[in-house]
């Protein structure tokens, strides 16, 4: 059993090996882009929505509501980022039921890349909302002594995100493989059902944590005692 799709080389392009992780990522990108384009190709205000457009609006509105509950405001930038993370991860996890498809989220390189994107996005959002000086000051709160601890905390967030997502996906795959050898007909169906549920939950948790980190970086700082007086 392969523990990571990185070792599965599908084909080679100009001497560059394309493994199952890269191919799976491309497939998910194509699926999300294609489905969105098909659903919204005749998007008009005077046209009644069909069931696919209604389903898409329910998903988007649900993401918007979750972000608003966390941040207390409507910020399209967070919607684009966190919403994309959620849709990518949940699609990757749901496609595990397709025979022969290696989900890229089962690769540590993918989960690390997703976590790094959050690590980069947090200061970018923070700088965009507070400015460079204002954001850097957050690392000195409540005192300059906390600078190294705040930096360590920032890095540990990304590490925990990557390991959490990778560990949950891989643990499900290992358990399913074990049960497949014990009872090849009954247990795989049950594990696929549980795997789908876990995949949705993990995508939700990852996107929520990313939103919480970004919300913390972009929140309006409370007025100091000198300003309030």
Q: 103 and 93 in contact (C-beta within 8 Å)? A: yes
Angle 24-28-30 from CA coordinates, rounded to 5°: 115
Q: Tell me 72's DSSP state.
A: S
Contact call for residues 89 and 132 (beta carbons, < 8 A): no
Q: In terms of pLDDT, which residue wins out, 221 or 33? A: 33
Q: Is 90 exceeded by the pLDDT of residue 46?
A: no
**pLDDT tens digits along 193-209:** 766 777 788 888 889 98
With beta carbons less than 8 A apart as the criterion, state whether 96 and 199 touch. Answer: yes
Is a pLDDT exceeding 80 seen at residue 123?
yes
Return the percentage of the chain with pLDDT > 90, whole number.
21
pLDDT tens-digit series, residues 57-72: 899 999 999 999 988 8
Residues in CB range of 32: below 8 A, 6 or more apart:
87, 88, 91
Domain residue ranges in the chain: 5-224
């Amino acid at each position: 059993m392969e523990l990571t799709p990185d070792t599965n080389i599908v084909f080679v392009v100009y001497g560059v090996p394309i493994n199952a992780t890269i191919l799976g990522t491309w497939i998910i990108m194509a699926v999300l882009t294609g489905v969105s384009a098909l659903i919204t190709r005749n998007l008009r205000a005077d046209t009644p929505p069909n069931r696919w457009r209604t389903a898409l609006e329910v998903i988007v509105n649900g993401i918007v509501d979750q972000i608003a509950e966390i941040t207390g405001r409507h910020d399209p930038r967070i919607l684009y980022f966190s919403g994309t993370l959620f849709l990518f991860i949940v699609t990757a996890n749901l496609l595990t039921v397709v025979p022969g498809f290696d989900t890229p989220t089962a690769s540590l390189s993918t989960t690390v890349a997703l976590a790094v994107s959050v690590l980069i996005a947090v200061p970018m959002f923070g700088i965009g909302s507070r400015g460079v000086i204002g954001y850097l000051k957050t690392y000195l709160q409540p005192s300059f002594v906390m600078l190294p601890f705040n930096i360590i905390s920032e890095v540990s967030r990304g590490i925990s995100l990557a390991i959490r997502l990778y560990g949950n996906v891989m643990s499900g795959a290992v358990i399913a493989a074990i049960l497949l050898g014990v009872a090849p007909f009954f247990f795989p169906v049950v594990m696929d059902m549980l795997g789908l549920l876990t995949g949705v939950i993990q995508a939700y948790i990852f996107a929520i944590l990313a939103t919480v980190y970004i919300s913390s970086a972009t929140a309006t700082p409370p007025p100091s005692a000198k300003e309030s007086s």
